[in-house]
Chains A and B, each alone.
With several copies, the nearest count.
Chain A
Amino acid sequence: MSDFNLMEDKLPNAKIAWRAAQDLSDGSYVNLGIGFPEMIAKFQPEGRAVTYHTENGVLGFGKAPDIGDEDWDLINAGKKAITLNQGASLFHHADSFAMVRGGHLDLAVLGAYQVAQNGDLANWSVGAKGVPAVGGAMDLVHGAKNVAIVTDHVTKRGEPKLLERCTLPLTGIGCVTRIYSSLAVIDVVDAHFVLREKLPEISIDQLQSVTGAELHLDGNVGDLIVPEDI
């Protein structure tokens, strides 16, 4: 255990996305944030029907088209070209955010700069100078039934991203329900981090040492195992 090298042995983003994808429910409606979270769709388990929502007014979109086949009137919230699956629907922005705010999405998955043990999320602004941009993140965190985060467990400099409280500008308060990190799967329960799974190679003590708030246990801690070929 002591030979676990945090920066080398942690899961890469694709493997975090794979793990998050294993929890996609059959028949669910899901919004995947721009960038890293979008990768989850690629790992959707067979036999489960998941309908993807994008803020700009599309429900039931599918894979990206081949290069050269793009129709730039048909894009997702990240401005990438998409295609429509059977049963798709198109609607305007107010209806789209009615779906979001009205609690109709089963799951939203977002990235994070910081997550606090009370479920606070900071993922839109590093607070510095520059041009701020928020998009739909603040709506998603207060709308979907479950708000999951996919994130490296620590920053590039090795500092904890899971904290007692966020220091960066908040996206939403008390909104995160589950975190898929590069080291563990952690739920937010009653303003505490509850450890559900961890990489088998890392000890709980070592995991705690790179986590900025106390990890609580509630029964067994599962092994976070991701296929090698991901």
Chain B
Amino acid sequence: MSKSCTSISQAVADIPDDSTIMVGGFGGSGAPVELIHALIDRFRLTGSPKDLTVINNNAGNGSIGIAAMIHAGMVRKMICSFPRSSNADAFNTKYLANEVELELVPQGTLAERIRAAGAGIPAFYTPTSFGTELAAGKPTEEFDGKMYVRERWLKADFALLKGHMGDEAGNLTYRLAGRNFNPLMAMAANTTIAQVTHLGESGSIDPEHVITPGIFVDRLVEVTDPQQEEVLVREGVVY
């Protein structure tokens, strides 16, 4: 049972309208540009998927990747910690026009909520955001003399990730700081789809060096020379 897909478009072909999609990466590092663009291609061709909820640390930059998804009108809601970037016009415009919703989550809480979803932990307590407006309406509790906020897990229907090495068993490694949210999102989505720069046979990754065990990965597609979001933004590329 190989998990590899024959094409990028095939890998994302069944993502329906109204899906919640986690997208790996922090800024351009570890961002699965080709998978996102395949989804945009599908939307332009078929009008689907639309009304998406997208979970990422940011809300897109420039005119490619998540920014292009937003600009295309596929995104109903962003869940992120930092929707600012050097060029967040796509999000800002839609947000200020009330055409896209925003759930703002502190970065560590965002990471932990995603990890909790993957780990079967429906709720946990964190000191983060206690006493701030981002904790409004959330249960609080004192432990050992300190106050904490209760946060819920955050699940998704799909995760789109960028790995570096992948093998047929679904095992993944990441490149440098491109790891970031990717291994967490792999655990938290019903269907996890990863593009990898090198796809090898089962066993081509040392078991001690695997970062995401294959159990968390449903589909793999090789993109041998992936685009780097930051480079595209700096070149002014518009997708």
**A and B in direct contact, judged by CB atoms within 8 A:** yes
User: Which A positions have Cβ atoms within 8 angstroms of B?
Assistant: 26-27, 29, 49, 51, 53, 55-60, 71-75, 77, 79, 84-105, 120, 129-139, 142-143, 169-173
Cα of A132 to Cα of B122 in the assembled complex, Å: 27
Which of B8-16, B68-76, B104-112 lines the interface with chain A? B104-112
A contacts with B: majority SS: loop
Contact of B134 among A100, A104, A131, A138 (CB under 8 A): A138
Chain B residues whose CB sits within 8 angstroms of the CB of A95 once the complex forms = 213
Q: Which residue of B is nearest A59, CB measured?
A: B213
Give A130's nearest chain B residue, CB to CB.
B96
- Chain B residues near A74: list those with CB within 8 A: 29, 176-177
Convert B211-228 into 0s and 1s, putting 1 for each residue whose CB lies closer than 8 angstroms to a CB of A.
101111000000000001
Q: Judging by beta carbons under 8 Å apart, are A73 and B108 in contact?
A: no
How long is the Cα–Cα vector from A131 to B87 in the complex, in angstroms? 13
**Max chain B C-beta neighbours (<10 A), residue from A60, A85, A93, A101:** A93
Given known pairs A139-B128, A170-B131, the reply for A72 and B108 (CB within 8 Å) is no
A49 to chain B, nearest CB (A): 5
Contact of A56 among B91, B180, B205 (CB under 8 A): B180
Given contacts A120-B131, A133-B83, A139-B126, could you give 20 more A-B pairs where the C-beta distance is less than 8 Å?
A: A49-B1, A59-B213, A72-B229, A77-B26, A86-B169, A87-B169, A87-B171, A91-B179, A93-B111, A96-B111, A99-B215, A101-B112, A102-B117, A104-B216, A131-B91, A135-B82, A136-B81, A138-B109, A169-B132, A173-B130
Q: How far is the CA of A58 from the CA of B180 in the complex (A)?
A: 9
Given contacts A51-B215, A89-B213, contact A97 B168 (CB under 8 A): no
Q: Across chains A and B, which 8 residue pairs bring their CB atoms closest together, nearest first?
A: A101-B120, A87-B169, A97-B108, A86-B203, A87-B202, A139-B108, A98-B119, A27-B1
Q: Which residues on B are within 8 Å of A, measured CB to CB?
A: 1, 26-30, 57, 81-86, 88, 91-92, 95-96, 102, 104-112, 114-115, 117-121, 126-134, 167-169, 171, 175-184, 187, 201-203, 205, 207-208, 210-211, 213-216, 228-231
Q: Of A57, A75, A85, A86, which one neighbours B201 at CB under 8 angstroms? A: A86
Q: How many A-B residue pairs have CB under 8 A?
A: 215
Q: How far is the CB of B228 from chain A (nearest CB, A)?
A: 5
A29 to B175, CA, bound (A): 24
Asked if A93 and B210 sit within 8 Å, CB to CB, the answer is no
Most buried by A among B26, B207, B228: B207
Task: List the B residue with the shortest CB-CB distance to A79.
Answer: B27
B112 contacts A142, C-beta separation under 8 Å: no
The residue on B at minimum CB distance from A174 is: B131
A72 touching B231 in the complex, CB below 8 Å, given contacts A102-B117, A104-B216: yes
Residue of A nearest to B61 (CB): A79
Interface residue from B30, B111, B114, B167 paired with A73 (Cβ < 8 Å): B30
Evaluate whether A92 and B181 lie within 8 angstroms (CB atoms) in the complex, with A79-B230, A136-B106 already known: yes
Q: Could you tell me if A87 and B167 are in contact, using CB atoms closer than 8 angstroms?
A: yes
A26 CB to closest chain B CB, in angstroms? 6
State the CA gap A142–B147 with chains docked (Å). 11
How far is A88 from B96 in the complex, measured between Cα atoms in Å? 41
- Cα A169 to Cα B132 with chains together (Å): 7
Q: Which residues of A contact B229 (CB under 8 A)?
A: 72
Are the CB atoms of A97 and B119 closer together than 8 Å?
Answer: yes
Query: What's the Cα separation between A120 and B132 when bound, in Å?
Result: 10
Q: Does B214 lie within 8 Å of A92, measured CB to CB?
A: no
Cα–Cα distance between A51 and B3 once the two chains are bound (Å) = 14
Contact B111 A86 (CB under 8 A): no
Given contact pairs A87-B168, A131-B95, A138 touches B106 in the complex (Cβ within 8 A): yes
